[in-house]
Amino acid sequence: MNTATSYETLVVGGGLAGLTCGLRLAEQGVKVAILEKGETDRYLCNSRICGGAFHVSYRDVMESPDILMNAMKGKTRGFSRQSFLDVMANEPGKTVNWLKSKGLRFIKVGDAPHRRTTLAPPIATKGRDYWHGRGGDVMLRTLHAELKKAGATLLLGTRALNLRMAGGQCVGVEAEQNGARVNLDARNVVISDGGFQANLDMLKEYISPAPEKIRQRNAQTAKGDGVKMARAAGAKLVGMNRFYGHVLIQDALTNDDLWPFPMMDEMCCAGVMVDTNGRRFVDEGAGGVYLANHIAGMQDPLSTIVVFDHPVWDGPAKEFITPANPLLVTNGGTVHKANTITELAQKLALPAGALEQTIAQYNAAVDAGTTAQLTPARSVSSHKAWPVRTAPFYAARLCAGITYTMGGIAIDGDSRVLDANDNPITGLYAAGCCTGGLEGGDAVGYVGGLSKSSTTGFRAAEHIAANRAR
């Protein structure tokens, strides 16, 4: 074990949360080091390959706190910690403006509110290199340059292993660096290494009985190290059973041209989702993130199919920057097509009678405006229910695509880590997608990974800097 090296603050993880926190600390004169297990300066992480939209529950981060608060409450429906909601209603716009002052550029992409503040240049719409020299890649490179100017230390090839605790206080990190164990001393430690989506054991513990049947729609670098370290140090974990992701075609498990795009959300929210018995099993109107979670939680996450007709294929399936129609087919996905529901059932090895009955009952409820009386109920407040009656008919087998886990370390409004009694653990902070208590719950409420990461990282830095002399 090498002798200890001292810093005022150690930040674990070099994604957006960690770089925001480290840079904000450094520009205020705090001696800070960022520990990143990636070994080169273009290390992979979710921040680098992200879509680039900064939003709060699909509202622009620059909108008023009241609008942002209402949007979050509408999505999370009572799950979120109020202090977390307060921060995310009041701080994201301020944080984005600070990021702009550091050289990040944003543009408006389309008319939707959640795309008004999108990283420039925007990601490409096709190809495995869709992020190279764009969006998150440029963001991280820009922040790296600013870190160097501010005097922060970026320790590449350094993986945090354990938190060092003394008398209930965090006093540093034990890490692995270039194959050797090192002790790093610090007055404060900020965990910001992302969720646990790439850790199959943790996914099986919290998310799915068969995580190997879920498509990793992410950088596959977030193994839950920070969450595990915090748990071992007495931190409270919250909301661990939910994730942000999208519904994908099942071929995405073996075809890299079918993830992260195109997504199946729009067809699923417009059409009818059935199991291998030809029966509906979920509220299609609840949205793609909810549907992906429901699919992942099934005993067999590969047992689901979406059925829709030509108006959906020619309508909602085309309504995205990277549209499912035609990309599902041109990229090699299997979309079944038939002139009758019976013929479609035969192609999918589904019981024809059951599928015909399911579609007939669904269509009748859509016509009568009684979809809420279906079993399960079908909501229409967010996504219109389209009938399935105009040939040709289509179907595709589905899988859940996981981007990041929503649950994690409980924090307060200053990003301080909380113990089982909701008391801050001295010297320990957390930021970004390793935190819990904002997103998830029964409604699988989604707020936004980039906004959460940058804002909580900024808040942690502000609190640390403000309390240096105490």
User: Tens of pLDDT along 319-343?
Assistant: 888 999 999 999 999 999 999 999 9
Q: What is the CATH number of the domain that holds 31?
A: 3.50.50.60
Give the model's pLDDT for residue 321: 84
Give the model's pLDDT for residue 436: 98
Whether 118 and 140 share a structural domain? yes
Q: How many residues belong to the chain?
A: 470
Whether 312 and 351 share a structural domain? yes
Give the model's pLDDT for residue 216: 98
DSSP state, 9?
E
Q: Give the tens place of pLDDT for each residue, 367-421.
A: 999 999 999 999 999 999 999 999 999 999 999 999 999 999 999 999 999 999 9
Q: Which whole number is the average pLDDT over 217-229?
A: 98
Whether 160 and 234 share a structural domain? yes
Domain boundary among 370, 401, 432: 401
Q: What is the CATH number of the domain that holds 362?
A: 3.90.700.10
Number of domains into which the chain is organized: 2
Give the model's pLDDT for residue 127: 86
Residue 3, pLDDT > 60, answer: no
Whether 337 and 413 share a structural domain? no
Whether 392 and 330 share a structural domain? yes
- The gap from C-alpha 295 to its chain's centroid, in whole angstroms, comes to 16
Q: Give the tens place of pLDDT for each residue, 226-274.
A: 999 999 999 999 999 999 999 999 999 999 999 999 999 999 999 999 9
Give the model's pLDDT for residue 119: 98
By mean pLDDT, which of 119-128, 198-207, 305-314 is the weakest?
119-128
- The gap from C-alpha 254 to its chain's centroid, in whole angstroms, comes to 22
Give the model's pLDDT for residue 244: 98
- The gap from C-alpha 72 to its chain's centroid, in whole angstroms, comes to 15
Whether 271 and 197 share a structural domain? no
Whether 410 and 420 share a structural domain? yes
Residue 93, pLDDT > 60, answer: yes
Give the model's pLDDT for residue 72: 98
CB 281 within 8 A of CB 275: yes
Whether 247 and 237 share a structural domain? no
Whether 350 and 461 share a structural domain? no
Domain boundary among 401, 425, 446: 401
DSSP state, 122?
P
Percentage of the chain exceeding pLDDT 90: 96
Q: Domain range spanning residue 432?
A: 2-241+406-466
Q: Specify burial of residue 457 (Cβ count, 10 A radius: 0-12, 13-18, 19+).
A: buried
Give the model's pLDDT for residue 15: 98
Whether 82 and 229 share a structural domain? yes
Give the model's pLDDT for residue 1: 52
Domain boundary among 369, 385, 401: 401
Q: Which whole number is the average pLDDT over 87-107?
A: 98
Q: Which whole number is the average pLDDT over 201-215?
A: 98
Tell me the residue ranges of DSSP E strands in 178-224: 180-191, 215-216
Whether 103 and 10 share a structural domain? yes
Whether 372 and 308 share a structural domain? yes
By mean pLDDT, which of 4-8, 71-75, 450-454, 455-459 is the weakest?
4-8
